[in-house]
Structure 1
Amino acid sequence: MADKPERDGEDVQEMRRGLLQGAGLGAALALLGGAITPAQAAEGAPFPNHKRWKIVFVNHVTTNPFFVPTQYGIQDSTALLGMDYQWTGSANADIGEMVNAVNAAVAGKADAIAVPIVDPKAFEKPIQAALDAGIPVFAYNADAPQGSSNPRLAYIGQDLYLSGYQMGERIASLIDSGLVALFIATPGQLNIQPRLDGAAAAIKKSGKKIDVQTIATGATVNEELSKIKSFYLGHQDLKGMFAVDAGSTQGVAEVMKENSLPAKGVHGGGFDLLPRTVQLIHDGFLDFTIDQQPYVQGFYTVVEAFVFLASGGLVGPANINSGLKFVTKGSVDPYLTTSTRYEGKSTKPQIVPRTGAIKG
């Protein structure tokens, strides 16, 4: 935040009112849990004047509803810190389009770049070119494989293999034997393939006689639903349907409802908090979904870039795990009774009142 000239008492009050109306500050204060009062935020001026840095977010599915809260997190964080951003990339997971977007950001002299590393090799050269040009690059949502030579500075997102492994353990606790379908939008992409690998490994380790079949569904919600419906019609003896991406999880929930599968002893679950998924958990058609907090994947990435730029690179970036939280019928109600930017269900900036004990 830039330094401001001294003002008299009336002007300070006006400045406070203006800041309180801003989406960025409101969201940031909510995220910080009220640790800073609006007056302190207005008067603290923690940073000297700085260039209005621009961070370019390259994405693999730019119109996917999963990333709506991510974009709100970016908007709020850049507003708070006095930065600009661009949202670009590919609508259908085209790696070439993503690489071109990174290269365009370098040519356009972006101040920072953020990109999900959904391919193990394709991004190494463009990221290195950005770093050579003095542009810091951060991975969000998907990271390079462990031990790879990708030079990104830090990763902000879920531990993908671990989240899949824990889902696999949950599946093995629900099902003793039989066919289990694991649906994945785009096999091989590093934002979801590690989850599938982890789930399969946990099921295998359980020692149960579970026959796992993997089904590719596609990059759009309609395509995913169609593939899931088709698979079920050909395998009506299955015991479970689970997915490792948001669109496929919603599709599983829809098919579970359409065919009354829980009443037939079939279990289902997956990832993320699309509104339809959340509703169908409440209605008893899915056993669980896993929240990976997409809002903070945008918010924290901007913060990391800002601190790196503000410190001249002296403050080194660090990996941030955006977490894993199972949402079930017993814990889903708060997701239905609130409508906020944090889950992508409202454009309205707001402070969400919290009541009751905090559960870890």
Structure 2
Amino acid sequence: MKKFLKLATALIATLLVLVACASGGGSKSSSNGGDAKKTLYFIPIVDIGAYWNPMRLGAEETAEKLGYELIVKTSPPAEAQKNEKHIGFINEAVSNGAAGIAIAPIEATMFKNPIKQAGDAGIPVITFDADLENPEDRVSYVGTDNELAGAELGRRAAERLIADGITAGSISIVCVDRAQPTMIAREKGLKAGFEEVMGDKTKNFKFLETIQDKDQAAVSKEQLEGQITANKDLVLVFSLGSEGPDVGVMEALASQNKAGKILHFGFDYTPTWEKGIEDGRITGIVDQDAYNIGVQVIENLVKSIDGKKIDKNIPIDVKFVEAKDIVEYGKQKAEQKTTTTE
């Protein structure tokens, strides 16, 4: 009987270990034996799509190379109470004694207190993709200066309108969430860049109310179709990032027979653009090096953990790509990523 009880106890213990290992939560890990001091939390807004996927890959591969386990926490685009859920991820990292936290804050002020609390607990926090209102509330920001990137997009669009002889009309902007710091900065920048090139003729153009779709293409498609119907002088659309706006805008242009007639400038490379090149549903894009953002986030977070001084801002440049060059550009990005990971 005693032998039976010992055997049963051993089996139960083995099962508990297996269950614990199986519930790791979808993150790449290195062999650190579960040491919290070798664990990093990586909290993107989402982790799907041609922008977020390479970023996650860069972060995962860099963490593994440096001997850290990376725990990736995020939520679906249309998640209810998304802000609160992501703040909960920060609190979880603090409770678990993580070595460092990297987060793309969805809102510039709501994340201030939990990030400061993490810092007070001795856990360095790096923001990426979007930043906080007060730079002193985090260790560093890695990513694009979204206002400057937006300005580049606005300048390129204005140059194209002038080249096409278009000197008046309505302009639409489509984004995931108007309250996101990235979207606010990009919209501010593109309007400034547009005015910089268009000059006095800027007054001949009207920016319509910004569309937000929570990354749901059907929503942006329907709303843009409404704007096209109500504004016969619509000449230009900006989509400010993510698959929802990208797809929604291109589908609206197709359904309203406006492909190639309304210019469309987008944010970030995605293979989705290739479907709109031939019929003119995409005119040009500015692209961020998402994979490199992931790499730089982890490299600098580990430096901070090791007590090394890092810059408060680590900028990642953007590149403008005309529609005719998007396919070749996509191939170059794929080759660059392969070379970087070898």
Q: TM-score, normalised by structure 1?
A: 0.74
Q: Does 1:216 align with 2:211?
A: yes
Matching residue of 1:83: 68
Residue 227 of structure 1 and its aligned partner are, at CA, apart by 2.8
Residue 230 of structure 1 and its aligned partner are, at CA, apart by 3.5
Aligned AA (1:115):
I
CA contact (8 A) 2:153 2:285 kept: no
Residue 241 of structure 1 and its aligned partner are, at CA, apart by 1.2
CA contact (8 A) 2:36 2:99 kept: no
Per-residue Cα deviation, 1:287-344 (whole angstroms, up to 9, x for no partner)? 101101111111110111122223xx1333442211110111343232354683977x
Matched-pair identity in %: 22
Structure 2 CA distance for partners of 1:64 and 1:330, relative to 1, 3 Å:
closer
CA contact (8 A) 1:256 1:268 kept: no
Aligned AA (2:121):
A
CA contact (8 A) 2:286 2:318 kept: yes
Matching residue of 1:286: 282
| Pick aligned residue for 1:180 from 157, 168, 171 | 171
Structure 2 CA distance for partners of 1:83 and 1:225, relative to 1, 3 Å:
farther
Q: Does 1:250 align with 2:244?
A: no
Per-residue Cα deviation, 1:261-302 (whole angstroms, up to 9, x for no partner)? 2543x2111101121124423653211011011111111101
CA contact (8 A) 2:172 2:234 kept: yes
| CA distance, structure 1, for counterparts of residue 131 and residue 141 of structure 2 | 6
| CA distance, structure 2, for counterparts of residue 219 and residue 237 of structure 1 | 26
CA contact (8 A) 2:58 2:293 kept: yes
| CA distance, structure 2, for counterparts of residue 279 and residue 297 of structure 1 | 26
Question: Radius of gyration: which is bigger?
Answer: 2
Matches within 5 A, 1:191-340: 191-205=182-196, 206-208=199-201, 209-222=204-217, 223-247=219-243, 248-264=245-261, 266-281=262-277, 284-310=280-306, 313-337=307-331, 340=334
Unaligned runs of 5+ in 1: 1-22, 25-49, 344-349, 353-360
Residue 216 of structure 1 and its aligned partner are, at CA, apart by 2.3
Matches within 5 A, 1:68-107: 68-92=53-77, 94-107=82-95
CA contact (8 A) 2:90 2:101 kept: yes
Per-residue Cα deviation, 1:183-224 (whole angstroms, up to 9, x for no partner)? 122012102210001112233442221111132222224333
Aligned AA (1:73):
G
| CA distance, structure 2, for counterparts of residue 65 and residue 263 of structure 1 | 24
Which structure carries more helix by proportion?
A: 2
| CA distance, structure 2, for counterparts of residue 305 and residue 245 of structure 1 | 26
| CA distance, structure 2, for counterparts of residue 173 and residue 202 of structure 1 | 10
| CA distance, structure 1, for counterparts of residue 122 and residue 274 of structure 2 | 43
CA contact (8 A) 1:123 1:150 kept: no
Secondary structure class of the residue paired with 1:340: helix
Secondary structure class of the residue paired with 1:331: helix
CA contact (8 A) 1:54 1:85 kept: yes
Q: How many residues align?
A: 294
Residue 141 of structure 1 and its aligned partner are, at CA, apart by 0.4
CA RMSD, Structure 1 to Structure 2 (Å): 2.7
Structure 2 CA distance for partners of 1:104 and 1:64, relative to 1, 3 Å:
farther
| CA distance, structure 2, for counterparts of residue 333 and residue 342 of structure 1 | 14
Higher mean C-alpha deviation, range 187-196 or range 226-235: 226-235
Matching residue of 1:346: none
CA contact (8 A) 2:222 2:252 kept: no
Per-residue Cα deviation, 1:111-135 (whole angstroms, up to 9, x for no partner)? 1101113322111111111111111
